[in-house]
Chains A and B, each alone.
Chain A
Amino acid sequence: MSAPSSPLTTTAPPAPPPQPPTPASLLRLFMGVALVGIGGGLPAHTRRALNTRGWMTDAEFAEAFTLAQLTPGPNAVNLAAMIGARLSGQAGALLAVVGILTPGLIVMLAVTAFTLGVPGGLPGPLQSALRGAAAAALGVMLTAALPVLKVTAGIRGGPVLAGATFLALAWLHLDLLLVLAGVLTVGLVVHRPRSGE
């Protein structure tokens, strides 16, 4: 990929420029991504980390990113599993997922054991703090939803189907799989591939 004579890395002497990723190095990479990704932006951090190591091109990353959004589950974890699988097989996928989950898991377990384990409920100020945090989290959720809503607005039938999904889930409390099947069917009919396209 780059000139072989002078490696840019300042590590051990016989280092070939882009060292191929090992499951262990993927574990380290994704733990790092998790730590800098407090408050979101994990895909962006993942891309930067892969870029600096020369392990994935932007096109390959975009492909994985799109796919991560189409598969069920949290995008950032899906992305880790995909990148791990592509770069280093089964062990790579496993350790990438472990890497992105571990730092947060440790903190979350500690905080959870404390907040849920207190007999008689949380002290007043702490509960107030959590209420404040929850209100702000709602704002975060709104900012995350906005880009999705914008893209949806540009899709044929998108606003109607999004609105129908919202009503079915929020008002009618219908089973999600039922709603998914219905919305997906209508969407597929609307967007069915035509010959010559």
Chain B
Amino acid sequence: MTADPLDIFLTFTRLGLVSFGGANLPEIERVLVDQKHWITPQVLANGFALGQVMPGPNMLAMTHYGFAAGGWPGALAATLGFYGPTALLSALAILAWQRLSRWRWLPAVRSALLPFGAGVMLAGVLVLTRGSLHSWTGVLIAAAAFALLQGTRVNAAVVVIGAAALGALIGL
């Protein structure tokens, strides 16, 4: 199953433009898993986990999903589509900021966007839970990772790699 690179590009462009505050996992699941059938929930969870241990932004998972959808051209199309337009928009936004900062509606926009971002994140947690937790051991690992990250200054990549080693050892 190899999807058309243009279709991949446009789909990921749309996914990028509707991501606020980072990843938009609910929409990624809805479009890539349910609608297009390009990836499985397992690939979604795997890619997200891999993204956590990569240097740089966590959502390089997009490259993983693009590859799953259409091989090397798909990976390229997904990466360009997801990061290109949003980066362009950001560059334009900072240049327009001086004028925007005097706009009296700006605080209102901010206060309206934040709860939306929080809701998206919560839904993302649910998506990941469905995709990655198949056993009580998994629940324990997730809880332990959360506790470690909240309670100590340990690097997130170290936690994820440690969990991978643990998973391999106990045959999760």
Give chain A's interface residues, CB within 8 Å of chain B: 34-35, 37-40, 42, 63-64, 66-82, 84-86, 90, 93, 97, 100-105, 107-109, 111-113, 115-116, 124-126, 128-146, 148-149, 151-152, 155-166, 168-170, 173, 176-177, 179-180, 183-184, 186-188, 190-193, 197
Q: In the complex, what's the smallest C-beta–C-beta distance from A7 to chain B, in angstroms?
A: 29
* Binding site secondary structure of chain B: helix
Cβ contact within 8 Å between B83 and A77? yes
CA distance A37 to B112 in the complex (A): 30
Cβ contact within 8 Å between A39 and B122? no
User: Which chain A residues lie closer than 8 Å to B170 at the CB level?
Assistant: 128
Cβ contact within 8 Å between B91 and A72? no
A-B contact pairs, 6 of them (CB 8 A): A77-B57, A113-B72, A128-B167, A132-B165, A135-B139, A179-B116
Query: B62-102, CB under 8 A of A: which get 1 and which 0?
Result: 01100110001001000100110111111111110100010
User: Which chain B residues lie closer than 8 Å to A112 at the CB level?
Assistant: 47, 50, 63-64, 67-68, 75
Interface size on B, residues (CB 8 A): 110
Pick the residue among B63, B105, B149 that contacts A143 (CB under 8 A): B149
Most buried by B among A124, A126, A151, A166: A166
Cβ contact within 8 Å between B166 and A155? no
Cβ contact within 8 Å between A38 and B93? no
User: Which chain B residues lie closer than 8 Å to A71 at the CB level?
Assistant: 86, 89-90, 93
User: Which chain B residues lie closer than 8 Å to A77 at the CB level?
Assistant: 57, 83, 86-87, 90
